[in-house]
Structure 1
C-alpha cells in the first residue's frame, strides 16, 4: 500500500522539457518529518502544558548571544513509537522557540494562525487512547478549549488551547473499548496542519520535492474543504499493515487543508507565521545526507529561504513551500554524524 520512494533514479525536472538529471545520493524514504516549531511567550508555562500532555523534553539549545532558546519535546518511553532516539532521528518533535524577555512583555503575543487576517498554520494534533477521559483531564486542569467534544456537529474531535492560544487537536487513536481512564504514555504527536492555497500545487511539492506519500484524503464537499494527510511510511514501519486506525496511530504526519476557491485568489492567501505578527515558524525534515539533499533541491529549482552556505549556521537550510511556509532541512545524526547538538 505504501511504497517507499527511493530517489536514486533518473527523473524529469519540468514538464515539457527534455532535461533530465540523475538524483544525488539521497533517499527520501529515509527522511522524517522531524519537528514543528512554534514561538512561545513564556517557556515555563508552555513546557508545563505540553509535559502535562505527556511530552518529554529531549533537547535544549541555548543561544545567549542571540537571546533565544529552543526546547524540543517528544513522546518518549517504552510505549512510544520513537523510543529514545536522537532528536534528529525522530518524527513528531515539537520545538518551542523562546526569545528572551517576551515573558515579561505585557504587549507580546503570538499569532496562533487561526484568526483573520493571519490565518495559515492551524494546529498540532495529539491522538489519545480515551478521548473522553483525556479531554476531561485537560479541562479539570484548567486549560481552555477552542472546541469541546460536545460542541458543534463533530463529536469525535476536540481542540484544547495551549498558553499562547495555539490549537491542539485531540483525536481518538482507535475505536476499541479502552475503559474509563487515560494514560499519556499511549499518546501520539500525530500531525501538524497548515492551510494551503492550491491543493494540487502543494501536493506536488510535498510528494515530488520532499518525497512524502499521500496517505489519506478527506473530502468535505458540503463544507467546502478537503484534508490531505501525508507522511514518510518507511519511518513508521509498525503502522503500515496492522494498525486499527492507521492515520491516527502514526506520528509525524502533515495535514494540508484546502478551502475550495482559494486557488483562484490573487497573490498569497495565508500567513506563513514568520512575517509580523509571528507565531508558527517552520516544519522540519531530517534527511539522510544533508549536502546531497540540498543539491537535489537545488536541481529541482526550489525557492530557498536559506541555503547551507548562507549565514553562520552551515548545518541547516530552509526551503519555501508554494505558500511561503518555511521547511527546515537538517541532518539525521543517527545516519551520518555531522553536528554536535
Structure 2
C-alpha cells in the first residue's frame, strides 16, 4: 500500500504501465479511498478472480483533500532518516523500449539504464516520487516493441535491520519460501527474494508476480534504524484461523479482528514494525458480511 497525494495523477501513471483498477473502495467515515491495481489482461498471470486472489496487487490510498493541500507530501522510503520501503518493481518485455516510452511520456527517472554501473535496470519515479524499478522479464528482450499488457508487478522491496530475524519471520510465521539470494559483499548488502508462488523450472523469478524483496545492508543489525510505516497485504484461506495461528506464534498485532470498525481485516507487525494486513481470500473460502 502506497499513500498518494493526487489519485488521478497516480492512476494515470500506473495505468500507463499497463495496470488496471480492479476495485475501488470509498470509506466515507475515514475520509479516504483505496484503489487496487493489478495486471489482469489476457497476457497476465491473473485470470478472472476476486481481487483477494490476484498476484502482485498495488493498493493506492488517497486521503480526501490532499490533492489540494500544498503542504502535503509523502516519504518515498529512500531518504534519511526514513529509509524503509524502497521500491516496487515492474518486469517488462523490452526494457530499452519500455524505458524510452516512460521517458517520452514525461515521467522522470531516479536512474536511467545508461547511468551507474547497473545497466540492466532503471528506476522511474511515480507522481509522488516513489521509485519503480524496471527490469527485464527474461535475459533477452521478448519483443522488438513493448506491450504494457505483458508486464508483471514483480516485487516490493523493504529494507530490514536484521536479515536473520526477518527471514525467519517471513518463512516460518508467514509461510513464504526463499526463492533467490543475491550477495553483494563489495557494496555490503544482500538481497533476499521470497514468494508464495512456485518458482518456474528454470529458476528465473523475473517473470513472476507478487514477490517480496528484503534488502539487508551489512551492519544495520547493530544500529538504530528508523523504517517507514507502510503495509503489505496477504490473503489467507481462513482469516480467523490465520489470526489464531499468529496469536499462538506470539506475532505482535497492530489491529486484531475484534478491534475497530473493520472486523474483516487484521494487521500484524514484522520484526521491523512494517504492518502486514491479513484478509480473507474469497476464492478459497467465502465469509459472511465481506
Distance 1:300 1:170, change over 3 A: same
Task: Name which of 165, 170, 173 aligns with 2:129.
Answer: 165
Would the aligned equivalents of 1:196 and 1:270 in 2 still touch at CA under 8 Å?
no
Deviation at 1:336, TM superposition (A): 1.1
Deviation at 1:52, TM superposition (A): 0.2
Give CA-to-partner distance per residue, 1:9-52, whole Å, 9 cap, x none.
Answer: xxxxxxxxxxxxxxxxxxxxxxxxxxxx0000000000000000
Separation in structure 1 between the aligned mates of residue 239 and residue 151 of structure 2, nearest angstrom: 31
Give CA-to-partner distance per residue, 1:119-152, whole Å, 9 cap, x none.
Answer: 1000000000000000000000000000000000
Task: Name which of 98, 107, 110 aligns with 1:143.
Answer: 107
Separation in structure 2 between the aligned mates of residue 77 and residue 340 of structure 1, nearest angstrom: 29
The alignment covers a number of residue pairs equal to 290
RMSD of aligned Cα (Å): 1.2
Alignment match, 1:219: 183
* Displacement over 4 Å in runs of 4+: none
Q: Tell whether 2:209 aligns with 1:251.
A: yes
Alignment match, 1:182: 146
Q: TM-score, normalised by structure 1?
A: 0.83
1:24-173 aligned at under 5 Å gives the runs: 37-173=1-137
Question: Can you give the 5+ residue segments of structure 2 that lack an aligned partner in the other structure?
Answer: none
Separation in structure 1 between the aligned mates of residue 97 and residue 248 of structure 2, nearest angstrom: 50
Task: Name which of 138, 151, 155 aligns with 1:191.
Answer: 155
Separation in structure 2 between the aligned mates of residue 208 and residue 176 of structure 1, nearest angstrom: 35
Separation in structure 2 between the aligned mates of residue 176 and residue 69 of structure 1, nearest angstrom: 40
Alignment match, 2:234: 285
Give CA-to-partner distance per residue, 1:219-269, whole Å, 9 cap, x none.
Answer: 000000000000003xx5xx532x5x621011000000000000011x4x1
Structure with bigger gyration radius? 1
Give CA-to-partner distance per residue, 1:280-304, whole Å, 9 cap, x none.
Answer: x200010000000000000000111
Find the residue that maps to 1:246 and give its secondary structure: coil
Distance 1:311 1:263, change over 3 A: same
Distance 1:105 1:322, change over 3 A: same
Question: Can you give the 5+ residue segments of structure 1 that lack an aligned partner in the other structure?
Answer: 1-36, 274-280
Would the aligned equivalents of 1:272 and 1:323 in 2 still touch at CA under 8 Å?
no
Find the residue that maps to 2:88 and give its secondary structure: strand
Alignment match, 1:272: 228
Alignment match, 1:328: 277
Q: Which has the higher contact order (CA 8 A, sep 6+)?
A: 1
Distance 1:177 1:134, change over 3 A: closer
